[in-house]
Amino acid sequence: MFPGNTADVTTVKRVREDLRGWRLGRCVFVGDAGMNSQDNRHELALGNGKYILATRLRAGDEVAKEVLTRPGRYAVVLLLERVAEIRAGDSWRNIAAEIERVKVVEYEHGGVRVLQTTELPPAVTRLLLALKVAEPPQLHSIRPAPARGAAASVGEPAN
């Protein structure tokens, strides 16, 4: 435990030294962005140490550039959430809530079964534009409705 006024960035070396006494065979150090510094990355890499450190995505940040130029090597979910937050200017929670308003519905009319996307609310349209994501197709499939009593199945998307 450290006093509440201890800067996160100053705790890594001490924690690493404390863990040596535990004689762990393997250890992965996980830290938030407050612990990410060049000195800490160097300290954690000593002795082939393994670590995961969060980073803030700032223009010119060396770590962010390294992550973004090496595709396929890192878990990208949190990175993509952060990119979405930056582009949309909103929190991931709000972005997800807006996107969840869009539904794919299925209905029958005149012997035809239709699978289509609900109308996009203006906020979702603005969000998709900000994220540079194409709008979902309005129509997914149009097929003859199954005969009464037959098992219903959803067809393949229409082109």
Position 58 scores a pLDDT of 61
Tokens of 56: 């803030």
In a domain, 13, yes or no: yes
- Mean pLDDT by 10-residue block, N- to C-terminus, for the chain (159 residues)? 74 78 75 82 78 69 64 58 86 88 88 90 92 88 79 49
Position 119 scores a pLDDT of 92
In a domain, 148, yes or no: no
Q: How many domains does the chain have?
A: 1
In a domain, 122, yes or no: no
Domain range for residue 27? 1-74
Tokens of 90: 């909103």
Q: Where are the alpha helices (DSSP H) in the chain?
A: 12-20, 38-45, 62-68, 77-88, 92-99, 122-131
CA dist., res. 92 & res. 82, Å (int): 8
Position 121 scores a pLDDT of 92
Concatenating the DSSP letter of every residue in 48-79 gives G-EEEE-----TT-HHHHHHHTSTTSS--HHH
